[in-house]
Structure 1
Protein backbone atom coordinates (compact mmCIF):
# COMPACT_ATOMS: atom_id res chain seq x y z
CA UNK A 1 0.00 0.00 0.00
CA UNK A 2 2.79 2.44 0.90
CA UNK A 3 4.54 1.82 -2.42
CA UNK A 4 1.33 2.38 -4.39
CA UNK A 5 0.61 5.67 -2.62
CA UNK A 6 4.18 6.88 -3.09
CA UNK A 7 4.21 6.05 -6.80
CA UNK A 8 0.97 8.01 -7.34
CA UNK A 9 3.12 11.10 -6.60
CA UNK A 10 0.28 13.01 -4.95
CA UNK A 11 1.51 12.93 -1.34
CA UNK A 12 4.87 13.64 0.26
CA UNK A 13 6.73 11.03 2.27
CA UNK A 14 5.68 12.86 5.44
CA UNK A 15 2.02 12.80 4.45
CA UNK A 16 2.13 9.11 3.58
CA UNK A 17 3.83 8.25 6.86
CA UNK A 18 1.22 10.22 8.80
CA UNK A 19 -1.66 8.49 7.01
CA UNK A 20 -0.16 5.06 7.64
CA UNK A 21 0.71 6.01 11.22
CA UNK A 22 4.37 5.10 10.88
CA UNK A 23 7.52 7.17 11.08
CA UNK A 24 9.05 8.76 8.00
CA UNK A 25 12.24 6.76 8.62
CA UNK A 26 10.29 3.48 8.72
CA UNK A 27 8.48 4.36 5.51
CA UNK A 28 11.72 5.26 3.72
CA UNK A 29 13.43 2.06 4.89
CA UNK A 30 10.48 -0.02 3.71
CA UNK A 31 10.32 1.67 0.31
CA UNK A 32 14.08 1.27 -0.19
CA UNK A 33 13.76 -2.40 0.79
CA UNK A 34 11.25 -2.75 -2.07
CA UNK A 35 13.70 -1.07 -4.44
CA UNK A 36 11.77 2.18 -4.72
CA UNK A 37 13.92 5.24 -5.42
CA UNK A 38 13.01 7.97 -2.92
CA UNK A 39 13.41 11.61 -3.84
CA UNK A 40 13.79 14.05 -0.96
CA UNK A 41 11.90 16.79 -2.76
CA UNK A 42 9.39 14.50 -4.42
CA UNK A 43 6.46 16.95 -4.60
CA UNK A 44 8.67 19.82 -5.77
CA UNK A 45 10.03 17.73 -8.62
CA UNK A 46 6.56 16.65 -9.70
CA UNK A 47 5.32 20.22 -9.55
CA UNK A 48 8.14 21.42 -11.79
CA UNK A 49 7.56 18.65 -14.31
CA UNK A 50 3.83 19.31 -14.56
CA UNK A 51 4.10 23.11 -14.75
Structure 2
Protein backbone atom coordinates (compact mmCIF):
# COMPACT_ATOMS: atom_id res chain seq x y z
CA UNK A 1 0.00 0.00 0.00
CA UNK A 2 1.56 3.28 -1.06
CA UNK A 3 -0.20 5.13 1.76
CA UNK A 4 2.48 3.79 4.11
CA UNK A 5 5.14 5.68 2.12
CA UNK A 6 3.48 9.09 2.52
CA UNK A 7 4.68 11.71 4.95
CA UNK A 8 1.58 12.65 6.99
CA UNK A 9 2.66 16.30 7.20
CA UNK A 10 3.52 16.91 3.53
CA UNK A 11 1.69 14.12 1.70
CA UNK A 12 4.86 13.39 -0.24
CA UNK A 13 5.91 9.79 -0.72
CA UNK A 14 9.28 9.99 0.97
CA UNK A 15 9.59 6.71 2.89
CA UNK A 16 10.56 3.30 1.52
CA UNK A 17 8.41 1.31 3.94
CA UNK A 18 8.86 -2.08 2.27
CA UNK A 19 12.59 -1.49 1.87
CA UNK A 20 12.93 -0.68 5.56
CA UNK A 21 10.97 -3.81 6.53
CA UNK A 22 13.21 -5.89 4.26
CA UNK A 23 16.25 -4.75 6.28
CA UNK A 24 14.60 -6.65 9.16
CA UNK A 25 14.26 -9.72 6.87
CA UNK A 26 10.47 -9.53 6.47
CA UNK A 27 7.73 -7.57 4.79
CA UNK A 28 4.84 -9.12 6.70
CA UNK A 29 1.77 -7.24 7.84
CA UNK A 30 -0.97 -8.41 10.20
CA UNK A 31 -4.71 -8.67 10.08
CA UNK A 32 -6.45 -8.59 13.41
CA UNK A 33 -9.43 -10.88 13.79
CA UNK A 34 -11.58 -12.50 16.43
CA UNK A 35 -12.78 -16.10 16.34
CA UNK A 36 -16.57 -16.21 16.60
CA UNK A 37 -17.15 -19.93 15.95
CA UNK A 38 -14.92 -22.97 16.18
CA UNK A 39 -14.10 -24.69 12.93
CA UNK A 40 -11.52 -25.39 10.27
CA UNK A 41 -10.40 -22.93 7.61
CA UNK A 42 -9.38 -24.45 4.28
CA UNK A 43 -7.43 -22.99 1.38
CA UNK A 44 -9.77 -20.93 -0.85
CA UNK A 45 -12.47 -20.62 1.84
CA UNK A 46 -14.19 -17.25 1.74
CA UNK A 47 -14.52 -14.88 4.67
CA UNK A 48 -16.43 -11.68 5.24
CA UNK A 49 -16.32 -8.95 7.83
CA UNK A 50 -19.54 -8.37 9.77
CA UNK A 51 -21.22 -4.99 9.54
CA UNK A 52 -20.28 -2.81 12.52
Q: TM-score normalized by structure 1? A: 0.31
Q: TM-score normalized by structure 2? A: 0.30
Higher relative contact order (CA 8 A, sep 6+): 1
Higher helix share: 1
